[in-house]
Chains A and B, each alone.
Chain A
């Protein structure tokens, strides 16, 4: 069973639906114990880093996600969910992330309109090409995924950057280390490429 963590942000149903369309059983849950008992966990999300980090702490859901990762079971973050895996974000300087990945989150520094919205090409890096979960994907070495964000990961360890996007600047948009993986974009809105990525996460045995 895949637990999709419901911590009061929008846009959760589409993730569950995208997993179900691939034949996977996913449950939306607000219960930390259910998260702890899951085979794998998905943390989606659209919203504010500070608010989300407080909610994860107060509900115990953040701790539960950390325990699942510590137990060696796969954990995936999407958009704000991925950002919450890092130590902190420029969006909410005092707020603490889950610390599952080394690095931080910062705002786009570009003269292009922010938020960055649209289908952006994602190029796999060397570590991305070697990543077991991504092996059967990215047949051309790149895919387009739907992005909606003002902030992105930064100062990520080189071997944890699996895919990069470009919008006035290069940014890590697919990140992972050990059992933890995350996408800055929305696979649940990225049609075939996104469904394939979620399917790969659901089958991944790190």
Chain B
């Protein structure tokens, strides 16, 4: 039996953890290595590190940071942001990542996900999809949410599964940072469309929101604001979910 996962997410820019609302108005949330070690000690099931600045000239700095985070934790570690090729992914894995997350590059280069799956195995490939509701459409957004595509989110995640993604990291831009709960209809549609795990992201503001996401079919819940700022801790989250019968780690 697989445990449902609670996954703190570190959005990193300029060497600091940051967190915004709808991908904007970023505020500082501390040092990545310190935060990672804290979440590991509190029993996080995994950790996700997204380089949200992802500027090519800072790759080396980012990889050094990735290596320092990897050295301070003993849980699976996903790294994303600016991974555009097999070589980029290889560098992240060598720096200590267990999985890589691709988003914009997977849209621009449709052969990227299959190449990553061939090179490193599907278990290494996390396909991140940022979704925004635009006129009744579930639009896939790229370039840090700044650019709209014509892709439909549910069709796109089906394609990503077929191409060799091991899991889908599904972020609702409408909900991101609002603390009003995950986009549950989106999550239900996505979970029904693929057999690989779907990780819910965007909107968690309290512990019942985590339970709602599991109920809607999520295998894991990504959360930043709730753990960075709002005083909920991972042990509290696990206790809350366990009491309600969800299979989480003790």
Contact = CB atoms under 8 A, between A and B. Distances in A.
A13 interface: yes
Interface string B104-134: 0000000000000000011100000000000
Interface in B1-18: 1-3, 5
B interface, size bucket: 20 to 34
Given A119-B2, A140-B250, A191-B74, A10 B93 contact: yes
A194 B40 CA distance: 13
Given A13-B96, A21-B74, A119 B3 contact: yes
Contacts of A17: 71, 74
A191 B77 CA distance: 12
Secondary structure at the A interface, as helix, strand, loop or mixed, is mixed
Given A10-B93, A13-B96, A119 B74 contact: no
Interface in B28-43: 40, 43
Nearest to A119: B3
User: Which of B40, B121, B247, B249 has its CB near the most chain A CB atoms (within 10 A)?
Assistant: B249
Interface stretch (A35-43, A110-118, A129-137): A110-118
Contact of A115 (B1, B74, B76, B122): B122
A166 B250 contact: no
Nearest to A47: B121
Interface string B194-214: 011100000000000000000
A188 B2 contact: no
Contacts of A151: none
Contacts of A108: none
A120 B96 contact: no
A121 interface: yes
A69 to B, nearest CB: 27
Contact of A191 (B43, B123, B167, B247): B43
Given A14-B96, A115-B121, A144 B75 contact: no
B2 A167 contact: yes
A167 B197 CA distance: 14
B5 A119 contact: yes
List 10 A-B pairs, minimum CB-CB distance, nearest first: A119-B3, A118-B2, A144-B249, A115-B123, A117-B123, A121-B1, A148-B123, A191-B74, A113-B195, A144-B3
Given A115-B122, A117-B123, A195-B74, 11 more contacts: A11-B98, A14-B70, A113-B197, A115-B123, A119-B3, A121-B1, A144-B3, A144-B249, A148-B98, A148-B123, A191-B43
Interface of A: 10-11, 13-14, 17-18, 21, 112-113, 115-121, 140, 144, 146, 148, 166-167, 188-192, 194-195
25 contacts: A14-B70, A17-B71, A17-B74, A112-B195, A113-B197, A115-B121, A115-B122, A116-B2, A117-B123, A117-B167, A117-B197, A118-B5, A118-B219, A119-B2, A120-B2, A121-B3, A144-B3, A146-B76, A167-B2, A188-B74, A189-B74, A189-B76, A189-B98, A190-B75, A191-B74
